[in-house]
Amino acid sequence: MCYCVSDLKAEVKPLRGREGQTVTLHTGLAKLQSDAKIFGLFGPVRPEIFIVESQAFRGEIITEYKGRFQGRLQLDRETGSLTVRNLTINDTGLYQLQIISEQVTYHNFIFTVYASVPTPNIRNTPHNPSVDSRLVSGSCSVVCSVGNGKEVTLSWYRGEEKLNNTSSPHQADLSLPLEIKGKNSATYSCIATNPVSNQTTILSIEEHCLQHADSSDCARCITPTELVVRSVLSALVAVATIALLVHHFWRHRRSP
């Protein structure tokens, strides 16, 4: 009996999963015949056989699990559907199930496994005079960043409204700036997504904008310590001036 690469012109079903989760490759069959043989192959060019189930001479059903999926497979003998547990990134690829009975049926799946998207990070943009001059009444410039991965998109939202987004298959990290002008009570959030997960970071106006603006507006303010030092110096200067004037006065009175 031949178990070779199936006809890839047959329907290929796309599936997605996340690392650590479980996926089931459904054949859609109601019930297999008792003498059916099942072969599972992984990979499109030189596929590796990862499961063989057939009936032995005395009618016993024998299932052989091979290769990378050992210990992570469960075959439904009734329908031929296959469950893969504890997914890894390396499980991405083409799966082919061949069920041989009175006729041969092929069940092809393109399966993609994604890592969970990281949590995005928000920080203030570097200071420069042109930016500082605009930091008034809570306005500020921030940038959101996240580690890039497979099909990751980074977006800024104001409430439910998407303001902008970015994605790239090449960058090591994704970054997306945002400038907030003037006081407002809107909720801003930075959201990182991929096809199987998402992570959200809420912008803290108090942390990133109000404090930043206050420190900029108070660039010429005097701290309490500076005030004490200046007061002491002023007092010393005043005392020295008075002493000099008194000395000068008595010198002139004693002169003939």
Let me know whether 154 and 194 are in one domain: yes
Structure confidence at residue 202 (pLDDT)? 95
Give the pairing type, strands 140-147 and 173-180. antiparallel
pLDDT tops 60 at residue 86: yes
pLDDT tops 90 at residue 115: yes
**Tens of pLDDT, residues 38-65:** 889 998 878 888 888 776 656 677 788 8
Let me know whether 102 and 125 are in one domain: no
Number of domains composing the chain: 2
Structure confidence at residue 108 (pLDDT)? 94
More confident residue, 181 or 249: 181
Q: Domain holding 196: CATH number?
A: 2.60.40.10
Let me know whether 127 and 178 are in one domain: yes
- What's the pLDDT band for 140 if we cut at 50, 70, 90? confident
More confident residue, 244 or 131: 244
Let me know whether 97 and 133 are in one domain: no
> Average pLDDT, stretch 114-138?
69
Let me know whether 196 and 174 are in one domain: yes
Let me know whether 101 and 165 are in one domain: no
pLDDT tops 70 at residue 166: yes
More confident residue, 64 or 139: 64
Instruction: Check residue 59 and give left, alpha or beta (phi > 0: left; psi -120 to 50: alpha).
Output: left
Residue where a domain terminates, one of 86, 114, 142: 114
Rounded CA separation 134/48 (Å): 62
Place of tokens 């930043």: 212
Of the candidate ranges 16-25, 29-38, 57-66, the one whose mean pLDDT is the lowest: 57-66
Let me know whether 143 and 209 are in one domain: yes
More confident residue, 130 or 204: 204
Element (H, E) at 203: none
Give the pairing type, strands 173-180 and 161-167. unpaired
pLDDT tops 90 at residue 3: no
pLDDT tops 90 at residue 134: no
User: Residue 164 domain-assigned?
Assistant: yes
Residue where a domain terminates, one of 95, 114, 133: 114
**C-alpha distance across the termini of the chain, in Å:** 137
Mean pLDDT of all residues in the chain? 80
CB atoms within 10 A of CB 138: 19
Structure confidence at residue 123 (pLDDT)? 93
> Average pLDDT, stretch 211-240?
57
pLDDT tops 70 at residue 120: yes
**Tens of pLDDT, residues 92-102:** 999 999 998 88
| Range(s) of the domain holding residue 189 | 121-217
User: Residue 50 domain-assigned?
Assistant: yes
More confident residue, 66 or 170: 170
